[in-house]
Amino acid sequence: MPTICENTMQHLDVTFACFNNRVKFVNAAKKHSSKLASWGFSNAEPFLIAGPCSAESEEQILQTAHKIKAEGKTSVFRAGAWKPRTRPGSFEGIGTVALEWLSRAKAETGLPMATEVANAWHVEEVLKHGIDMIWIGARTTVNPFYVQEIANALKGVDIPVLVKNPLHPELGLWLGAIERFDAVGIKKLAAIHRGFYTTKPSPFRNEPHWDLSFELRAHLPELPILCDPSHIAGNRGLLQQVAQTAMDINLDGLMIETHVTPDKALSDAKQQITPTALSTLIDGLIIKQEEALEESVQKKLDDLRLVIDQLDHELIKSLSKRFEHVEEIGAIKLEDQITIFQIKRWFEMMNNRKEFGAKHNLEAEFIHELFSIIHKYSVKKQTEIVRKDAF
């Protein structure tokens, strides 16, 4: 399963952004037909869900929906009726009345409507009001009881369900929620990558951890994965870059918070954009194809990959030799009653590898993560040797 470290991916964001500024592909070929195409919504490229974070007033919903419709890029309109807010006292949504505004927006614009549900009663209300698509929010995905309750309420209902990633980077919870909907027979299922809570300093509101999308894809290759750049970025300035990264890693669509007067929004004001800005963002995206179109390009890729395959085999052989020596050291440590972990050696090893890596153009963070894993498994191996002897 591919695991790419978060820091590397964060740098990739920047790299992608720089790259895209320098190189504009002329007539970039369209992406492979989206897995979402069979869901029966209009077939924009990329598949786009847009609308305000929250439904605030009938006027706000209707104006935003009409403007979004006029821009012609959006397949589904979104607005939250119930807002799961971290602290009480913030705007917690209008509730059921908002669903009536959405029905009216749908009747006037023809746009299908999506909203968030967080319990079985929300599901009932949403179905009564003819909502076309629902999503499970990050704060709900973390709770298997709620997810199961919602899934049970959806038994026998043919409505598309989009499952946002849980707040923290745990693939199991995300997969688990998707499996619960699959188990009750939901056929139109997709995931939304909205980033993950982090305590580390980050330019993002929610750390992308793109590697989790790769892992999700490795587990469920047929599942469409959309990206929610709004909740990853947390501010307008980063939206384009995050949306482009999502396209570059071949995600299947976008959900972008869009509001007629974003600065006046009652929730998530900093990350919302106007329908016009949404169009500019979408027009600025470079949609790439999954495979090379020209044989000569494919040949170049194949040749380079062959070299990489060989290098990786060499790497594995080196690692295998390294572990043989680790085992020998383990035996000596056992015999001489020496602790397995020695902090002085650890620092020496890390610093030396970082210096050596720098001479070979490898980032210190990359070396740190790589050798942390190698060292972790070395310690594990030696622990096994010591334990074997103990029992």
- Which of the listed partners (ligand PEP, Mn ion, none) does 122 bind, with a CB threshold of 5 to 8 Å by partner kind? none
Written as one letter, the residue type at 11 is H
| Nearest distance, CB of residue 288 and ligand PEP, angstroms | 26
Site residues (CB under 5 A) for Mn ion, limited to 28-67: 53
- Judged by CB under 5 A, the number of residues near Mn ion is 2
Written as one letter, the residue type at 309 is D
Written as one letter, the residue type at 366 is F
The residues, any chain, with a CB within 8 Å of residue 178's CB and separated by 6 or more, are 163, 189, 191, 220, 223
DSSP secondary structure of 143-173: -HHHHHHHHHHTTT----EEEEPPSSS-HHH
Q: Pick the closer one to ligand PEP by CB: 20 or 213.
A: 213
| Nearest distance, CB of residue 213 and ligand PEP, angstroms | 14
| Nearest distance, CB of residue 133 and Mn ion, angstroms | 16
Site residues (CB under 5 A) for Mn ion, limited to 241-270: 268
Would you give the binding string for ligand PEP spanning residues 72-91, x where CB under 6 A is met?
A: --------x---x-------
- What is the DSSP code (8-state) at residue 58? H
- Which of the listed partners (Mn ion, ligand PEP, none) does 137 bind, with a CB threshold of 5 to 8 Å by partner kind? ligand PEP
- Judged by CB under 6 A, the number of residues near ligand PEP is 9
The residues, any chain, with a CB within 8 Å of residue 368's CB and separated by 6 or more, are 350, 354
Q: CB count, 10 Å around CB of 305?
A: 10
Q: Pick the closer one to Mn ion by CB: 53 or 153.
A: 53
The residues, any chain, with a CB within 8 Å of residue 156's CB and separated by 6 or more, are 185
Taking alpha carbons only, the member of 167, 161, 179 closest to residue 219 is: 179
Residue 53 within binding range of ligand PEP, rule CB under 6 A? yes
| Nearest distance, CB of residue 118 and Mn ion, angstroms | 14
Site residues (CB under 6 A) for ligand PEP, limited to 121-180: 137-139, 164
Task: From residue 245, give the alpha-carbon distance in Å to each of 18, 138, 169, 210.
Answer: 11, 21, 19, 9
Of 205, 209, 231, 259, which lies in the binding site for ligand PEP, with binding defined by CB under 6 A? 231
Q: Which residues bind Mn ion (CB under 5 A)?
A: 53, 268
Q: Which residues bind ligand PEP (CB under 6 A)?
A: 53, 80, 84, 137-139, 164, 194, 231
